[in-house]
Structure 1
Amino acid sequence: MGQLEGKTAVVTGGGTGIGLATAVRLATEGAHVFITGRRKTELDAAVDTIGATMATAVAGDITVMADLDRLYDAVRARGRGLDVLFANAAVAAFVPLEEITEEHHDQVFGVNVRGMLFTVQKALPLLNDGASVILTGSTAADKGMHAFTTYAASKAAVRSFARTWSNELKGRGIRVNVVSPGVIETPGAVDLAGGEEAYAAFKKQIVPIVAKGREGHPEEVAATVAFLASEQSSYIVGANIYVDGGVNQI
Protein backbone atom coordinates (compact mmCIF):
# COMPACT_ATOMS: atom_id res chain seq x y z
CA MET A 1 0.00 0.00 0.00
CA GLY A 2 1.36 3.40 -0.99
CA GLN A 3 0.88 6.62 0.94
CA LEU A 4 -1.74 7.79 -1.59
CA GLU A 5 -3.56 4.52 -2.25
CA GLY A 6 -6.95 5.20 -3.81
CA LYS A 7 -6.38 8.96 -4.05
CA THR A 8 -6.88 11.16 -7.10
CA ALA A 9 -4.23 13.68 -8.13
CA VAL A 10 -3.81 16.37 -10.78
CA VAL A 11 -0.41 17.47 -12.07
CA THR A 12 -0.18 20.45 -14.42
CA GLY A 13 2.86 20.61 -16.67
CA GLY A 14 2.94 16.85 -16.27
CA GLY A 15 4.51 15.83 -19.58
CA THR A 16 8.19 16.35 -18.79
CA GLY A 17 10.66 17.33 -16.09
CA ILE A 18 9.48 17.88 -12.53
CA GLY A 19 5.83 17.39 -13.49
CA LEU A 20 6.46 14.01 -15.08
CA ALA A 21 8.72 12.81 -12.26
CA THR A 22 6.06 13.83 -9.76
CA ALA A 23 3.25 12.13 -11.67
CA VAL A 24 5.32 8.94 -11.70
CA ARG A 25 5.99 9.21 -7.96
CA LEU A 26 2.36 9.92 -7.03
CA ALA A 27 1.22 6.95 -9.12
CA THR A 28 3.84 4.78 -7.44
CA GLU A 29 2.31 5.83 -4.12
CA GLY A 30 -1.07 4.58 -5.33
CA ALA A 31 -2.79 7.69 -6.74
CA HIS A 32 -4.56 7.88 -10.07
CA VAL A 33 -2.92 10.90 -11.70
CA PHE A 34 -4.47 13.26 -14.22
CA ILE A 35 -1.71 15.04 -16.13
CA THR A 36 -2.14 18.06 -18.34
CA GLY A 37 0.07 20.15 -20.59
CA ARG A 38 0.06 21.72 -24.02
CA ARG A 39 1.93 18.98 -25.89
CA LYS A 40 -0.19 15.88 -26.45
CA THR A 41 2.72 13.78 -27.72
CA GLU A 42 4.62 14.24 -24.47
CA LEU A 43 1.52 13.57 -22.40
CA ASP A 44 0.84 10.33 -24.26
CA ALA A 45 4.43 9.24 -23.69
CA ALA A 46 4.06 10.09 -20.01
CA VAL A 47 0.96 7.89 -19.74
CA ASP A 48 2.93 5.05 -21.36
CA THR A 49 5.65 5.54 -18.74
CA ILE A 50 3.24 5.68 -15.78
CA GLY A 51 0.75 3.09 -17.03
CA ALA A 52 -2.69 3.67 -18.46
CA THR A 53 -4.40 2.24 -15.38
CA MET A 54 -2.77 4.86 -13.15
CA ALA A 55 -2.70 7.95 -15.37
CA THR A 56 -5.04 9.96 -17.58
CA ALA A 57 -3.79 12.65 -19.96
CA VAL A 58 -5.91 15.71 -20.74
CA ALA A 59 -4.13 18.03 -23.16
CA GLY A 60 -4.69 21.71 -22.50
CA ASP A 61 -3.33 25.13 -21.64
CA ILE A 62 -3.87 26.42 -18.09
CA THR A 63 -4.34 29.95 -19.44
CA VAL A 64 -7.43 28.80 -21.35
CA MET A 65 -10.44 28.50 -19.07
CA ALA A 66 -12.20 25.99 -21.32
CA ASP A 67 -9.14 23.72 -21.14
CA LEU A 68 -9.16 23.83 -17.35
CA ASP A 69 -12.87 23.00 -17.42
CA ARG A 70 -12.16 19.96 -19.62
CA LEU A 71 -9.47 18.80 -17.22
CA TYR A 72 -11.73 19.02 -14.20
CA ASP A 73 -14.66 17.49 -16.08
CA ALA A 74 -12.44 14.43 -16.59
CA VAL A 75 -11.60 14.35 -12.88
CA ARG A 76 -15.27 14.78 -11.97
CA ALA A 77 -16.24 11.87 -14.21
CA ARG A 78 -14.04 9.55 -12.14
CA GLY A 79 -16.38 10.25 -9.26
CA ARG A 80 -13.89 10.40 -6.39
CA GLY A 81 -13.18 14.09 -6.08
CA LEU A 82 -9.64 15.40 -5.91
CA ASP A 83 -7.14 14.75 -3.12
CA VAL A 84 -3.89 16.19 -4.48
CA LEU A 85 -3.34 19.15 -6.80
CA PHE A 86 0.21 19.87 -7.92
CA ALA A 87 -0.01 23.22 -9.73
CA ASN A 88 3.32 23.03 -11.49
CA ALA A 89 2.96 24.45 -15.02
CA ALA A 90 5.12 27.52 -15.62
CA VAL A 91 7.17 29.38 -18.21
CA ALA A 92 10.46 31.25 -17.84
CA ALA A 93 12.87 33.33 -19.90
CA PHE A 94 15.93 35.45 -19.18
CA VAL A 95 15.10 39.01 -20.26
CA PRO A 96 16.94 42.09 -18.89
CA LEU A 97 14.79 44.90 -17.48
CA GLU A 98 15.38 47.23 -20.42
CA GLU A 99 14.27 44.54 -22.89
CA ILE A 100 11.03 43.45 -21.22
CA THR A 101 8.05 43.78 -23.53
CA GLU A 102 4.34 43.70 -22.82
CA GLU A 103 4.16 40.35 -24.57
CA HIS A 104 6.89 38.83 -22.39
CA HIS A 105 5.36 40.17 -19.18
CA ASP A 106 1.87 39.00 -20.12
CA GLN A 107 3.05 35.52 -21.10
CA VAL A 108 4.97 34.91 -17.85
CA PHE A 109 2.30 36.34 -15.57
CA GLY A 110 -0.45 34.80 -17.68
CA VAL A 111 0.85 31.28 -17.04
CA ASN A 112 2.65 31.53 -13.71
CA VAL A 113 0.17 33.76 -11.86
CA ARG A 114 -3.18 33.93 -13.68
CA GLY A 115 -2.98 30.33 -14.85
CA MET A 116 -2.08 29.04 -11.41
CA LEU A 117 -4.82 31.08 -9.75
CA PHE A 118 -7.54 29.64 -11.97
CA THR A 119 -6.03 26.15 -11.84
CA VAL A 120 -6.64 26.18 -8.10
CA GLN A 121 -9.91 28.13 -8.15
CA LYS A 122 -11.55 25.78 -10.64
CA ALA A 123 -10.45 22.78 -8.58
CA LEU A 124 -12.23 24.00 -5.43
CA PRO A 125 -15.57 22.24 -6.02
CA LEU A 126 -13.73 18.94 -6.53
CA LEU A 127 -11.20 19.16 -3.70
CA ASN A 128 -12.05 16.73 -0.94
CA ASP A 129 -11.87 17.95 2.63
CA GLY A 130 -8.32 17.43 3.85
CA ALA A 131 -6.86 17.65 0.33
CA SER A 132 -3.33 18.86 -0.33
CA VAL A 133 -2.51 21.63 -2.81
CA ILE A 134 1.15 22.05 -3.74
CA LEU A 135 2.34 25.01 -5.80
CA THR A 136 5.66 25.16 -7.65
CA GLY A 137 7.64 28.19 -6.57
CA SER A 138 11.33 28.91 -7.18
CA THR A 139 14.47 29.98 -5.41
CA ALA A 140 14.51 32.79 -8.00
CA ALA A 141 11.83 34.57 -5.96
CA ASP A 142 14.48 35.24 -3.29
CA LYS A 143 17.72 35.63 -5.23
CA GLY A 144 17.29 38.70 -7.45
CA MET A 145 18.95 36.89 -10.36
CA HIS A 146 20.00 39.02 -13.31
CA ALA A 147 17.47 39.17 -16.19
CA PHE A 148 14.83 37.23 -14.25
CA THR A 149 12.56 40.15 -13.34
CA THR A 150 9.23 38.75 -14.48
CA TYR A 151 9.84 35.12 -13.56
CA ALA A 152 11.08 35.95 -10.06
CA ALA A 153 8.16 38.30 -9.43
CA SER A 154 5.68 35.68 -10.66
CA LYS A 155 7.12 33.12 -8.25
CA ALA A 156 6.96 35.64 -5.40
CA ALA A 157 3.25 35.84 -6.15
CA VAL A 158 3.03 32.06 -5.88
CA ARG A 159 4.55 32.22 -2.40
CA SER A 160 1.91 34.78 -1.44
CA PHE A 161 -0.86 32.62 -2.87
CA ALA A 162 0.04 29.78 -0.53
CA ARG A 163 -0.26 31.97 2.55
CA THR A 164 -3.60 33.49 1.57
CA TRP A 165 -5.17 30.29 0.29
CA SER A 166 -4.05 28.36 3.38
CA ASN A 167 -6.04 30.82 5.46
CA GLU A 168 -9.07 30.74 3.15
CA LEU A 169 -9.23 26.94 2.90
CA LYS A 170 -8.34 25.96 6.45
CA GLY A 171 -12.01 25.42 7.31
CA ARG A 172 -12.05 22.47 4.91
CA GLY A 173 -8.77 21.10 6.19
CA ILE A 174 -7.12 21.78 2.84
CA ARG A 175 -3.40 22.41 3.15
CA VAL A 176 -1.60 24.65 0.65
CA ASN A 177 2.19 24.58 0.47
CA VAL A 178 4.95 25.59 -1.94
CA VAL A 179 7.89 23.55 -3.17
CA SER A 180 10.71 25.78 -4.45
CA PRO A 181 13.29 24.00 -6.60
CA GLY A 182 16.76 25.34 -7.21
CA VAL A 183 18.79 24.26 -10.23
CA ILE A 184 17.12 21.06 -11.42
CA GLU A 185 18.28 19.37 -14.62
CA THR A 186 15.19 19.17 -16.81
CA PRO A 187 14.49 19.67 -20.52
CA GLY A 188 12.99 23.03 -19.62
CA ALA A 189 16.15 24.13 -17.82
CA VAL A 190 18.28 23.16 -20.80
CA ASP A 191 16.00 25.11 -23.14
CA LEU A 192 16.05 28.12 -20.79
CA ALA A 193 19.85 28.13 -20.81
CA GLY A 194 19.93 28.01 -24.60
CA GLY A 195 20.84 24.39 -25.27
CA GLU A 196 23.05 21.62 -23.92
CA GLU A 197 26.34 23.50 -24.35
CA ALA A 198 25.04 26.65 -22.65
CA TYR A 199 23.52 24.59 -19.84
CA ALA A 200 26.82 22.82 -19.25
CA ALA A 201 28.52 26.21 -18.92
CA PHE A 202 25.77 27.40 -16.56
CA LYS A 203 26.26 24.34 -14.36
CA LYS A 204 29.97 25.07 -14.05
CA GLN A 205 29.06 28.49 -12.66
CA ILE A 206 26.29 27.42 -10.31
CA VAL A 207 27.48 24.08 -8.92
CA PRO A 208 30.34 25.57 -6.83
CA ILE A 209 27.81 27.58 -4.77
CA VAL A 210 25.49 24.60 -4.17
CA ALA A 211 26.23 22.86 -0.88
CA LYS A 212 25.44 19.46 -2.40
CA GLY A 213 27.99 20.13 -5.13
CA ARG A 214 25.67 19.25 -8.02
CA GLU A 215 22.41 20.17 -9.72
CA GLY A 216 19.22 18.54 -8.51
CA HIS A 217 17.16 15.82 -10.15
CA PRO A 218 13.41 15.96 -10.86
CA GLU A 219 12.88 12.89 -8.70
CA GLU A 220 14.20 14.79 -5.67
CA VAL A 221 11.54 17.45 -6.12
CA ALA A 222 8.94 14.74 -6.74
CA ALA A 223 9.81 13.11 -3.41
CA THR A 224 9.14 16.39 -1.62
CA VAL A 225 5.81 16.84 -3.41
CA ALA A 226 4.82 13.29 -2.46
CA PHE A 227 5.64 14.09 1.17
CA LEU A 228 3.53 17.26 1.07
CA ALA A 229 0.71 15.32 -0.60
CA SER A 230 0.67 12.68 2.13
CA GLU A 231 -0.48 12.59 5.74
CA GLN A 232 3.18 12.56 6.79
CA SER A 233 3.09 16.35 6.32
CA SER A 234 -0.27 16.83 8.07
CA TYR A 235 1.02 19.66 10.29
CA ILE A 236 2.69 21.61 7.48
CA VAL A 237 0.49 24.44 6.20
CA GLY A 238 1.42 27.52 4.17
CA ALA A 239 5.10 26.55 4.07
CA ASN A 240 7.72 27.00 1.39
CA ILE A 241 9.97 23.94 1.15
CA TYR A 242 13.25 24.55 -0.67
CA VAL A 243 14.65 21.72 -2.77
CA ASP A 244 17.81 23.55 -3.77
CA GLY A 245 20.83 21.66 -2.46
CA GLY A 246 21.29 24.44 0.07
CA VAL A 247 21.97 27.25 -2.39
CA ASN A 248 19.40 29.59 -0.82
CA GLN A 249 20.10 28.49 2.72
CA ILE A 250 23.86 28.67 3.21
Structure 2
Amino acid sequence: MPTNHSTQASSTIDPKPLAGRRAVVTGGTIGMGRAIVQALTDRGAEVVYTGRSDRRLAEAQAALDTPLAHPVRSDATDANAIADLSDQVADRLGRIDYLFINQGIAEFQTLEEVTEESWDRIFDVNAKGAFFTVQRLIPLISEGGSIVFTTVSNDRIFPGLSAYSGAKEAVAAFTKVLAAELLPRKIRVNAIAPGFILTPTMGVAELTDEQRAEFIEQGNASTPMGRGGTVEEVAAAALYLAAEATFTTGVELPVDGGFGQGLSA
Protein backbone atom coordinates (compact mmCIF):
# COMPACT_ATOMS: atom_id res chain seq x y z
CA MET A 1 0.00 0.00 0.00
CA PRO A 2 1.51 3.37 -0.99
CA THR A 3 2.45 5.74 1.83
CA ASN A 4 0.67 9.06 2.01
CA HIS A 5 3.75 11.20 2.50
CA SER A 6 1.81 14.44 2.99
CA THR A 7 -0.26 12.91 5.78
CA GLN A 8 2.83 11.37 7.34
CA ALA A 9 4.68 14.68 7.22
CA SER A 10 1.80 16.69 8.63
CA SER A 11 1.43 14.31 11.56
CA THR A 12 4.96 15.22 12.69
CA ILE A 13 4.29 18.97 12.79
CA ASP A 14 4.19 20.27 16.36
CA PRO A 15 0.84 22.06 16.80
CA LYS A 16 2.24 24.00 19.78
CA PRO A 17 5.83 24.80 18.81
CA LEU A 18 6.14 27.58 21.40
CA ALA A 19 4.77 25.64 24.36
CA GLY A 20 6.79 26.57 27.43
CA ARG A 21 7.92 29.87 25.93
CA ARG A 22 7.01 33.16 27.60
CA ALA A 23 6.52 36.56 26.02
CA VAL A 24 5.52 40.16 26.67
CA VAL A 25 3.62 42.21 24.08
CA THR A 26 3.14 45.92 24.73
CA GLY A 27 0.18 47.54 23.04
CA GLY A 28 -1.48 44.16 22.72
CA THR A 29 -5.19 44.96 22.95
CA ILE A 30 -6.08 45.71 19.32
CA GLY A 31 -4.79 45.46 15.78
CA MET A 32 -1.29 44.16 15.21
CA GLY A 33 -0.53 43.78 18.90
CA ARG A 34 -3.52 41.56 19.57
CA ALA A 35 -2.70 39.52 16.47
CA ILE A 36 0.81 38.92 17.85
CA VAL A 37 -0.65 37.82 21.20
CA GLN A 38 -3.09 35.53 19.37
CA ALA A 39 -0.34 33.99 17.25
CA LEU A 40 1.83 33.38 20.31
CA THR A 41 -0.91 31.74 22.40
CA ASP A 42 -2.13 29.68 19.43
CA ARG A 43 1.38 28.21 19.34
CA GLY A 44 1.40 27.51 23.07
CA ALA A 45 3.33 30.48 24.46
CA GLU A 46 2.27 32.22 27.67
CA VAL A 47 1.92 35.97 27.21
CA VAL A 48 1.60 39.11 29.29
CA TYR A 49 0.19 41.91 27.15
CA THR A 50 -0.48 45.54 27.93
CA GLY A 51 -2.91 48.31 27.14
CA ARG A 52 -3.95 51.63 28.65
CA SER A 53 -7.71 51.14 28.44
CA ASP A 54 -9.56 48.82 30.82
CA ARG A 55 -12.30 48.45 28.21
CA ARG A 56 -9.90 47.38 25.47
CA LEU A 57 -8.08 45.02 27.83
CA ALA A 58 -11.39 43.34 28.69
CA GLU A 59 -12.41 43.14 25.03
CA ALA A 60 -9.05 41.64 24.08
CA GLN A 61 -9.18 39.06 26.85
CA ALA A 62 -12.67 37.99 25.77
CA ALA A 63 -11.57 37.72 22.14
CA LEU A 64 -8.37 35.80 22.94
CA ASP A 65 -10.28 33.44 25.25
CA THR A 66 -7.25 31.58 26.58
CA PRO A 67 -5.66 31.14 30.02
CA LEU A 68 -2.27 31.68 28.35
CA ALA A 69 -2.92 35.42 27.91
CA HIS A 70 -2.58 37.78 30.87
CA PRO A 71 -3.72 41.42 30.50
CA VAL A 72 -1.93 44.20 32.37
CA ARG A 73 -3.01 47.82 32.38
CA SER A 74 0.13 49.84 31.75
CA ASP A 75 1.08 53.24 30.36
CA ALA A 76 4.37 53.34 28.43
CA THR A 77 4.73 57.07 29.17
CA ASP A 78 4.77 56.51 32.94
CA ALA A 79 8.07 55.34 34.47
CA ASN A 80 6.30 53.97 37.55
CA ALA A 81 3.90 51.99 35.38
CA ILE A 82 6.81 50.50 33.42
CA ALA A 83 8.48 49.50 36.68
CA ASP A 84 5.23 47.93 37.89
CA LEU A 85 4.91 46.06 34.58
CA SER A 86 8.38 44.61 35.09
CA ASP A 87 7.40 43.44 38.59
CA GLN A 88 4.17 41.87 37.32
CA VAL A 89 5.98 40.07 34.50
CA ALA A 90 8.57 38.74 36.94
CA ASP A 91 5.84 37.51 39.29
CA ARG A 92 3.69 35.95 36.55
CA LEU A 93 6.27 34.58 34.11
CA GLY A 94 9.68 34.81 35.74
CA ARG A 95 12.06 34.82 32.79
CA ILE A 96 10.81 35.67 29.30
CA ASP A 97 11.93 34.55 25.87
CA TYR A 98 10.42 37.22 23.64
CA LEU A 99 9.64 40.92 24.05
CA PHE A 100 7.50 42.67 21.45
CA ILE A 101 7.48 46.47 21.72
CA ASN A 102 4.38 47.35 19.78
CA GLN A 103 2.69 50.34 21.41
CA GLY A 104 2.28 53.40 19.26
CA ILE A 105 0.16 56.42 18.40
CA ALA A 106 0.04 58.64 15.33
CA GLU A 107 -1.64 61.96 14.66
CA PHE A 108 -1.91 63.72 11.28
CA GLN A 109 -0.57 67.25 11.81
CA THR A 110 1.10 69.55 9.31
CA LEU A 111 4.18 71.60 10.15
CA GLU A 112 1.99 74.50 11.22
CA GLU A 113 -0.30 72.32 13.34
CA VAL A 114 2.27 70.42 15.42
CA THR A 115 2.47 71.65 19.00
CA GLU A 116 5.06 70.95 21.64
CA GLU A 117 2.39 68.99 23.55
CA SER A 118 1.49 66.78 20.57
CA TRP A 119 5.17 66.26 19.72
CA ASP A 120 5.95 65.15 23.28
CA ARG A 121 2.89 62.90 23.39
CA ILE A 122 3.88 61.05 20.22
CA PHE A 123 7.56 60.73 21.15
CA ASP A 124 6.73 59.69 24.72
CA VAL A 125 4.67 56.72 23.54
CA ASN A 126 6.56 55.66 20.44
CA ALA A 127 10.20 56.33 21.31
CA LYS A 128 10.77 57.11 24.98
CA GLY A 129 8.28 54.51 26.17
CA ALA A 130 9.74 51.90 23.85
CA PHE A 131 13.31 52.47 25.05
CA PHE A 132 12.60 52.52 28.77
CA THR A 133 10.30 49.50 28.59
CA VAL A 134 13.20 47.53 27.12
CA GLN A 135 15.55 48.92 29.76
CA ARG A 136 13.25 47.74 32.56
CA LEU A 137 12.48 44.31 31.09
CA ILE A 138 15.88 43.37 29.70
CA PRO A 139 17.02 41.75 32.99
CA LEU A 140 14.13 39.27 32.57
CA ILE A 141 15.00 38.19 29.02
CA SER A 142 16.75 34.84 28.90
CA GLU A 143 20.05 34.41 27.09
CA GLY A 144 19.23 33.56 23.51
CA GLY A 145 15.94 35.45 23.66
CA SER A 146 14.83 38.20 21.31
CA ILE A 147 13.26 41.64 21.08
CA VAL A 148 11.06 42.75 18.20
CA PHE A 149 10.16 46.42 17.78
CA THR A 150 7.31 47.68 15.59
CA THR A 151 8.48 50.60 13.46
CA VAL A 152 6.91 51.76 10.18
CA SER A 153 7.68 51.58 6.48
CA ASN A 154 9.26 55.04 6.31
CA ASP A 155 10.91 54.93 2.88
CA ARG A 156 7.93 56.73 1.43
CA ILE A 157 6.39 59.40 3.61
CA PHE A 158 2.85 60.66 4.10
CA PRO A 159 2.66 64.43 4.72
CA GLY A 160 1.47 65.33 8.20
CA LEU A 161 3.35 62.61 10.08
CA SER A 162 6.56 64.41 11.05
CA ALA A 163 6.47 63.53 14.75
CA TYR A 164 5.31 59.95 14.20
CA SER A 165 7.86 59.25 11.45
CA GLY A 166 10.63 60.79 13.51
CA ALA A 167 9.74 58.75 16.59
CA LYS A 168 9.64 55.51 14.61
CA GLU A 169 13.01 56.33 13.01
CA ALA A 170 14.35 56.60 16.55
CA VAL A 171 13.02 53.11 17.27
CA ALA A 172 14.71 51.83 14.11
CA ALA A 173 17.97 53.24 15.49
CA PHE A 174 17.35 51.50 18.84
CA THR A 175 17.06 48.24 16.92
CA LYS A 176 20.60 48.46 15.60
CA VAL A 177 22.24 49.92 18.71
CA LEU A 178 20.65 47.43 21.10
CA ALA A 179 21.39 44.54 18.74
CA ALA A 180 25.07 45.43 19.11
CA GLU A 181 24.88 46.00 22.87
CA LEU A 182 23.10 42.72 23.56
CA LEU A 183 25.35 40.44 21.48
CA PRO A 184 27.22 39.24 24.61
CA ARG A 185 23.92 37.93 26.02
CA LYS A 186 22.97 36.34 22.68
CA ILE A 187 19.77 38.39 22.62
CA ARG A 188 18.70 39.27 19.09
CA VAL A 189 17.02 42.61 18.36
CA ASN A 190 15.04 43.20 15.19
CA ALA A 191 12.08 45.23 13.95
CA ILE A 192 9.09 44.79 11.71
CA ALA A 193 8.20 47.80 9.55
CA PRO A 194 4.53 47.60 8.57
CA GLY A 195 3.20 49.56 5.64
CA PHE A 196 -0.50 49.98 5.00
CA ILE A 197 -2.17 47.50 7.38
CA LEU A 198 -5.91 47.10 7.93
CA THR A 199 -6.51 47.70 11.64
CA PRO A 200 -9.47 49.12 13.59
CA THR A 201 -7.79 52.53 13.99
CA MET A 202 -5.49 52.39 10.93
CA GLY A 203 -2.79 53.50 13.37
CA VAL A 204 -4.12 57.05 13.58
CA ALA A 205 -5.99 58.55 16.53
CA GLU A 206 -9.62 59.67 16.12
CA LEU A 207 -10.25 58.87 12.47
CA THR A 208 -13.83 59.40 11.33
CA ASP A 209 -15.50 56.70 9.22
CA GLU A 210 -15.12 58.93 6.17
CA GLN A 211 -11.42 59.53 6.87
CA ARG A 212 -10.87 55.81 7.42
CA ALA A 213 -12.51 54.95 4.08
CA GLU A 214 -10.39 57.58 2.32
CA PHE A 215 -7.26 56.32 4.05
CA ILE A 216 -7.99 52.76 2.92
CA GLU A 217 -8.54 53.87 -0.67
CA GLN A 218 -5.27 55.81 -0.68
CA GLY A 219 -3.40 52.95 0.98
CA ASN A 220 -4.61 50.38 -1.54
CA ALA A 221 -3.67 52.66 -4.41
CA SER A 222 -0.16 53.35 -3.07
CA THR A 223 0.68 49.72 -2.24
CA PRO A 224 2.22 47.82 -5.18
CA MET A 225 0.37 44.64 -4.18
CA GLY A 226 -2.88 46.62 -4.47
CA ARG A 227 -4.27 45.90 -1.01
CA GLY A 228 -3.73 46.50 2.64
CA GLY A 229 -1.93 43.91 4.71
CA THR A 230 -3.63 41.95 7.46
CA VAL A 231 -2.68 41.99 11.11
CA GLU A 232 -2.10 38.24 10.84
CA GLU A 233 0.55 38.84 8.18
CA VAL A 234 2.31 41.30 10.46
CA ALA A 235 2.13 38.85 13.38
CA ALA A 236 3.62 36.09 11.23
CA ALA A 237 6.61 38.31 10.41
CA ALA A 238 7.02 39.31 14.07
CA LEU A 239 7.02 35.69 15.23
CA TYR A 240 9.48 34.74 12.49
CA LEU A 241 11.96 37.32 13.75
CA ALA A 242 11.36 36.41 17.38
CA ALA A 243 11.46 32.63 17.22
CA GLU A 244 12.74 31.38 13.88
CA ALA A 245 15.28 33.86 12.49
CA THR A 246 17.98 32.67 14.88
CA PHE A 247 20.87 34.01 12.77
CA THR A 248 19.31 37.45 12.24
CA THR A 249 19.81 40.55 14.36
CA GLY A 250 19.80 44.30 13.83
CA VAL A 251 17.44 44.23 10.83
CA GLU A 252 14.22 46.07 10.04
CA LEU A 253 11.93 43.79 8.02
CA PRO A 254 9.40 45.60 5.79
CA VAL A 255 5.91 44.11 5.87
CA ASP A 256 4.46 46.54 3.39
CA GLY A 257 3.35 44.88 0.14
CA GLY A 258 6.29 46.49 -1.65
CA PHE A 259 5.32 50.01 -0.51
CA GLY A 260 8.83 51.06 0.44
CA GLN A 261 10.64 49.13 -2.26
CA GLY A 262 9.89 51.31 -5.28
CA LEU A 263 7.96 48.54 -7.05
CA SER A 264 5.39 49.11 -9.76
CA ALA A 265 3.14 46.77 -11.69
Normalising TM by the smaller chain, what interval?
A: over 0.9
* SS of residue paired to 2:260: coil
Q: 1:64 aligns with which of 73, 78, 82?
A: 78
Report what 2:171 is aligned to. Answer: 158
1:119-138 mapped onto 2 (5 Å cutoff): 119-138=133-152
| Compared CA separation, residues 39 and 98, structure 1 to 2 (3 A) | same
Larger Rg: 1 or 2?
2
Does 2:168 match 1:168? Answer: no
* SS of residue paired to 1:44: helix
1:207-244 deviation line (CA, Å, top 9, x unaligned)? 123122111111110111111121x2001101111111
Report what 2:63 is aligned to. Answer: 49
Q: 1:38 aligns with which of 23, 28, 52?
A: 52
* SS of residue paired to 2:57: helix
Which one is further off, 216-225 or 49-58?
49-58
Deviation (angstroms), 1:48 = 2.3
Report what 2:120 is aligned to. Answer: 106
Q: What is the alpha-carbon distance in structure 2 between the residues aligned to residue 79 and residue 206 of structure 1?
A: 39
1:119-154 deviation line (CA, Å, top 9, x unaligned)? 100011101001110000001x32232111110111
Q: Percent of counterpart pairs with the same letter?
A: 37
Matched AA of 2:240 = F
Q: 1:241 aligns with which of 253, 256, 259?
A: 253
Q: What is the alpha-carbon distance in structure 1 between the residues aligned to residue 259 and residue 63 of structure 2?
A: 32
Query: Which stretches of structure 1, 4 residues or longer, exceed 3 Å deviation after superposition?
Result: 190-193
Q: What is the alpha-carbon distance in structure 2 between the residues aligned to residue 3 and residue 172 of structure 1?
A: 23
Report what 1:96 is aligned to. Answer: 110
| Compared CA separation, residues 142 and 191, structure 1 to 2 (3 A) | closer
Q: What is the alpha-carbon distance in structure 2 between the residues aligned to residue 50 and residue 155 of structure 1?
A: 28
Deviation (angstroms), 1:56 = 0.6
Which one is further off, 94-103 or 206-215?
206-215
Q: What is the alpha-carbon distance in structure 2 between the residues aligned to residue 144 and residue 172 of structure 1?
A: 36
Q: What is the alpha-carbon distance in structure 2 between the residues aligned to residue 90 and residue 220 of structure 1?
A: 18
Q: What is the alpha-carbon distance in structure 2 between the residues aligned to residue 43 and residue 133 of structure 1?
A: 23
Q: What is the alpha-carbon distance in structure 2 between the residues aligned to residue 240 and residue 84 of structure 1?
A: 17
Q: What is the alpha-carbon distance in structure 2 between the residues aligned to residue 60 and residue 217 of structure 1?
A: 26
Report what 1:15 is aligned to. Answer: 29
Matched AA of 2:251 = A
Report what 2:198 is aligned to. Answer: 185
Q: What is the alpha-carbon distance in structure 1 between the residues aligned to residue 172 and residue 258 of structure 2?
A: 19
Q: What is the alpha-carbon distance in structure 1 between the residues aligned to residue 199 and residue 216 of structure 2?
A: 12
| Compared CA separation, residues 98 and 51, structure 1 to 2 (3 A) | same
Q: What is the alpha-carbon distance in structure 2 between the residues aligned to residue 197 and residue 98 of structure 1?
A: 24
Q: What is the alpha-carbon distance in structure 2 between the residues aligned to residue 35 and residue 211 of structure 1?
A: 33
CA contact (8 A) 2:105 2:203 kept: no
Q: What is the alpha-carbon distance in structure 2 between the residues aligned to residue 208 and residue 145 of structure 1?
A: 13
* SS of residue paired to 2:152: coil
* SS of residue paired to 2:109: coil
CA contact (8 A) 1:209 1:247 kept: yes
* SS of residue paired to 1:128: strand
* SS of residue paired to 2:259: coil
Does 2:89 match 1:75? Answer: yes
Matched AA of 1:66 = N
Does 2:162 match 1:149? Answer: yes
TM-score, normalised on structure 2? 0.89
